[in-house]
Amino acid sequence: MVGATIASIFFNSGNTDISTASIGDVTSKITNYGISITPQIGWFVSDKIAIGATLNINPNGQKTTYQENGSTYQSDKSNGFNIGFGGFVRSYFSGKSAWMPFGQLSLNGGISNLKTDGFFYYKGGVPFYKYTYSGNSSGGSFVNAALDAGLTKMFGDNAGLDFFIGYNFAYNKTTFKKTTLYYLSASDINPSTGKNETTNKFTNHGFVLGLGFQVFLSGKKK
């Protein structure tokens, strides 16, 4: 069986207008994107049980800007990339039919990377004219586990559409290094430097409603 998750690309863009008496009118714009590619290939080890391998590829990014009177005074941008490998076990609870109920257990892990950069201009130049920053993660890793239950709608003997609901567990750890430069004026060529290193650990529990497509490869005829 060969399959891939469907509908896993997104792009968002939005604007927010903020009016505050003590600050003035501010406009923020946020754009973000994400692509999740999760092909899988499996083999039936019996009439109802399949085992297989999965590949996860997930580039993503986000950019947020803030403008006042048509000038951008703050920008924050991040770009990430995750890649991982894993395996799964799927058990069908009936033989071949138009609708085939199944349960599936999946486990995968991999590495991740995140880069950020941005700037901020202080109003009135106090205490600094501006600062810029850049950051990069190192040693990023993640582990995902999923338990799904669903139905495969068969189209002929060799293709099926999965409808499933499941529970997901996710854990990731990353060490992020950030360098910030503080400028006293627009002509400052020797900005002061600040460095910071942060280690983050993240755990998440969630539920998912999904759609997938499977191709069932025919074995060799004896």
What percent of the chain has a predicted confidence (pLDDT) above 90? Answer: 58
pLDDT at 221 over 60: no
How many structural domains compose the chain?
1
- Report if residue 49 sits inside a domain: yes
Per-residue model confidence (pLDDT) at position 40: 79
Interval 95-130: pLDDT, tens: 778 899 999 999 999 999 999 999 999 988 889 999
pTM: 0.71
- Report if residue 108 sits inside a domain: yes
- CA-closest candidate to residue 162, choices 84, 215, 85, 87: 215
- Report if residue 8 sits inside a domain: no
- Report if residue 52 sits inside a domain: yes
Per-residue model confidence (pLDDT) at position 124: 85
Per-residue model confidence (pLDDT) at position 160: 87
Q: Can you tell me the mean pLDDT for 163-182?
A: 94
Q: Which residues contact 52 (CB under 8 A, 6 or more apart)?
A: 1, 40, 41, 42, 43, 87, 88, 90
* Domain that includes residue 195, residue range: 44-152+164-209
- Report if residue 106 sits inside a domain: yes
Per-residue model confidence (pLDDT) at position 7: 39
φ, ψ for residue 74 (rounded to 5)? -150, 140
Interval 21-60: pLDDT, tens: 555 678 999 999 988 887 878 888 888 898 999 888 889 9
Interval 55-94: pLDDT, tens: 888 899 999 999 988 889 999 999 999 999 999 999 999 8
State the average pLDDT for the chain: 87
- Report if residue 190 sits inside a domain: yes
Per-residue model confidence (pLDDT) at position 15: 77
- Beta-carbon neighbour count of residue 90 at 10 Å? 24
- Report if residue 103 sits inside a domain: yes
Per-residue model confidence (pLDDT) at position 4: 47
- Report if residue 39 sits inside a domain: no
